[in-house]
Amino acid sequence: MNVYDSERMLEAVSKTHKLVTSPNDADAILINTCHIREKAAEKVYSEIGKFSDLKRKNKKLKVIVAGCVAQAEGNAMLQRQPLIDSIVGPQMYQNLPNILLDESNKRNVLLEFNEREKFSKLGTKRNYASISSFITIQEGCDKFCSFCVVPFTRGAEYSRSVEEVVEEAKSLCKKGCKEIILLGQNVNAYHGAYKNKTQTNLAGLIKELAKIRKLERITYTTSHPRDMNDDLINLHQYNEKLNPYLHLPVQSGSDNILKNMNRKYTSKQYLEIIEKLRKKVPNIAISSDFIVGFPGETKKDFIETLNLVKEIKFAQSYSFKYSRRIGTKANRINCSLTEEEKDERLQELQMILNKQKIQYNKTFEGKEIEVFIRGKGKRDNQYRGTTKWMQSTIFESNKSIESDKVHLKIKSAMDNCLLGELI
Ligand code: SAH
Ligand code: SF4
């Protein structure tokens, strides 16, 4: 979502400012930030420190911090780092043009939750598009998982209207987009309305988007198991534009931990969703998020996570060591695990998940599949792209490729990509 936000920030200021390639040439430096784990948040301060020389040389240079760290730390950020001129929360960046034009030395602090105004001011016309483009359709979260800062940094659940999303998608498709990745902290909690005030869910919105002729692929992230309804599951079977991919974070395989995380589902319920989906789309790529070392996680809890992983067999995954976040409920629970124990668990889990990823990718060897090109690879004649199962793919071509999509025969599968040959 920060990628989407950064694109929209650039568009918002495009009347008066253009992107430069080096901070040395900049009149303003905008840092978009993530607060989900401690490491990401701390990185912000070291990044800003790098600009102290530039700031001394150019008194007019503005340093603006946007995003969830700005939202969470507020005025304390200005005190801790005097180089910062203004801070702007994730629901207020529609005001960036005014901040950039403000010639007073005032330090602006904009931290309201004003999603409605944000999206209406940003509009639906997009300046930039790539073959795979993001659209935020839903923001914020009301679920309050005990480890998570999102409800505090992004605010309450908000869904954009159907027409707004469809118009934005059409604008992207006019500029060459063929795949849309619908975004939300809880994207499958989407409950947007049409202009006539009738509401629809994510499946309803996807059906509307699928009518756009130039749009070939649709995918969505991130979903919550509790909001995985039958409409959406059935759509995976019937809608050809919907990618056979689902990112459904489980976090843990232990019911005890899931309860303490306030996830409000059990490992059995999670398994049932996956079974249902696999009955409809047998080779669907299932991806997930895991947290290891949540406060109170015993060896038995951890083994239950490993067992769930072995039973499901994931195609992709993201796994993290639990990170304490101020203001969250879990922060009040004592954690007896050492960092080394958490590291060991993470490594053990990741080893299994990586093997599963290779096993899934190996089922594609010898197959002919369509790949959307996302850019050049590391070598001159190398290209990278993605399949509709959201696998990264690499192939070589000595002739330059004019099209933005190609058909490949998959030669071999690695844990992090497929290697293909042009057909
Ligand atoms: N809405 C999604 C998750 C969004 S946050 C869901 O409900 O699953 C993205 C991922 O970051 C989470 O799935 C979780 O695995 C990880 N995460 C969030 N808070 C964390 C924390 N305090 N420590 C470690 N990982 C965390
Ligand atoms: Fe955070 Fe996701 Fe839980 Fe919401 S549902 S609180 S975004 S982990």
For residues 251 and 321, what is the distance between their CA atoms, to the nearest angstrom?
11
Mode of pairing for the β-strands spanning 62-67 and 86-88: parallel
User: Rounded distance, CA 186 to CA 220, Å?
Assistant: 10
Please, where are the H alpha helices in 175-286? Answer: 202-210, 230-238, 255-260, 267-280
Q: Are residues 156 and 110 in the same domain?
A: no
Q: Which helix or strand (DSSP H or E) is residue 118 part of?
A: helix 115-122
Q: By residue range, what is the domain housing residue 18?
A: 2-114
Q: Are residues 68 and 156 in the same domain?
A: no
Domain end (from 363, 386, 402): 363
Please tell me whether residues 129 and 239 are part of one structural domain: yes
pLDDT, residue 262, reads 98
Token pair, residue 90, equals: 């994730």
Q: Which atom of ligand 2 is nearest to the CA of 222?
A: 2
Per residue of the chain (423 residues), give pLDDT as tens.
Answer: 999 999 999 999 999 999 999 999 999 999 999 999 988 878 899 899 999 999 999 988 999 999 999 999 999 999 999 999 999 999 999 999 999 999 888 999 999 999 999 999 999 999 989 999 999 999 999 999 999 999 999 999 999 999 999 999 999 999 999 999 999 999 999 999 999 999 999 999 999 999 999 999 999 999 999 999 999 999 999 999 999 999 999 999 999 999 999 999 999 999 999 999 999 999 999 999 999 999 999 999 999 999 999 999 999 999 999 999 999 999 999 888 999 999 999 999 999 999 999 999 999 999 999 999 999 998 889 999 999 999 999 999 999 888 999 999 999 998 789 999 999
Characterize the bridge pairing of strands 418-422 and 392-396.
parallel
Q: Which of 320, 328, 305, 329 is nearest to 255 (CA)?
A: 305
End-of-domain residue from the set 75, 95, 114: 114
Cα 178 to middle of ligand 1, angstroms: 29
- 146 domain-assigned: yes
Same domain, 237 and 161: yes
Buried b (16+ CB within 10 A) or exposed e, 151-172: bbbbbebbbbbbebbbebbbbb
Predicted local distance difference test score (pLDDT) of residue 245? 98
Indicate if 61 and 91 belong to the same structural domain.
yes
SS3 291: strand
Looking at the fold, whether 237 and 133 belong to one and the same domain comes out as: yes
Give 251's strand partners.
290
Task: Judge if 238 and 128 occupy the same domain.
Answer: yes
Q: Establish if 353 belongs to a structural domain.
A: yes
CA distances for 225 relative to 113, 132, 249, 395, angstroms? 26, 25, 7, 35
- Which DSSP string corresponds to 316-376? EEEEEE----TTSGGGGS-----HHHHHHHHHHHHHHHHHHHHHHHHTTTT-EEEEEEEEE
Query: Is the domain of 344 the same as that of 381?
Result: no
What integer pLDDT is reported at residue 338 of this predicted model?
Answer: 93
Look at residue 146 in the predicted model and tell me its pLDDT: 98
The domain that holds 215 is classified in CATH as: 3.30.750.210
Sign of CA dihedral 242, 179, 126, 228: positive
| Domain CATH code at residue 344 | 3.30.750.200
pLDDT at 59: 87
Mutation pick for ligand 1 pocket among 36, 183, 309 (CB with most ligand atoms within 8 Å): 36
Position 144 in a domain = yes
Is the minimum distance from the CB of 153 to ligand 2 under 6 angstroms? no
The one-letter code for the residue type at 353 is L
- Say whether both 290 and 332 belong to one domain: yes
Q: Domain ends where: 50, 79, 114?
A: 114
First to last CA, the chain: 35
Do 87 and 167 belong to one domain?
no
Q: Which residues contact 325 (CB under 8 A, 6 or more apart)?
A: 35, 37, 38, 147, 148, 149, 331
Instruction: Indicate if 102 and 130 belong to the same structural domain.
Output: no
Nearest ligand to the CA atom of 39: 1
| CATH code (residue 405) | 2.40.50
How many domains is the chain built from?
Answer: 4
26 inside domain = yes
Residues flanking ligand 1, CB < 6 Å: 36-37, 147-148, 185-186, 222, 224, 249, 251, 289, 291, 320, 322-323, 325
Separation between Cα atoms, residue 358 and residue 353, nearest integer Å: 9
- Asked if residue 411 and residue 328 are part of one domain, the reply reads no
268 phi/psi in degrees, rounded to 5:
-65, -45
Residue 280: both structure tokens together:
């409809």
If one residue of 143, 149, 318 were mutated to test the ligand 2 pocket, choosing by the most ligand atoms within 8 A of its CB, it would be: 143
The structure tokens listed for 297 are 């996680």
Domain assignment present for residue 397? The answer is yes
Q: Is residue 10 part of a domain?
A: yes
Asked whether residue 228 is domain-assigned, the answer is yes
Ligand 2: centre distance to CA 150 (Å): 6
The enclosing domain of 44 has a CATH number of 3.40.50.12160
Sign of CA dihedral 132, 138, 139, 140: negative
Q: Rounded to 5 degrees, what are φ and ψ at 320? A: -135, 150
Cβ–Cβ under 8 Å, residues 331 and 293: no
Record the tokens describing residue 108, joined without a space. 């602006």
Instruction: Identify whether 266 is part of a domain.
Output: no
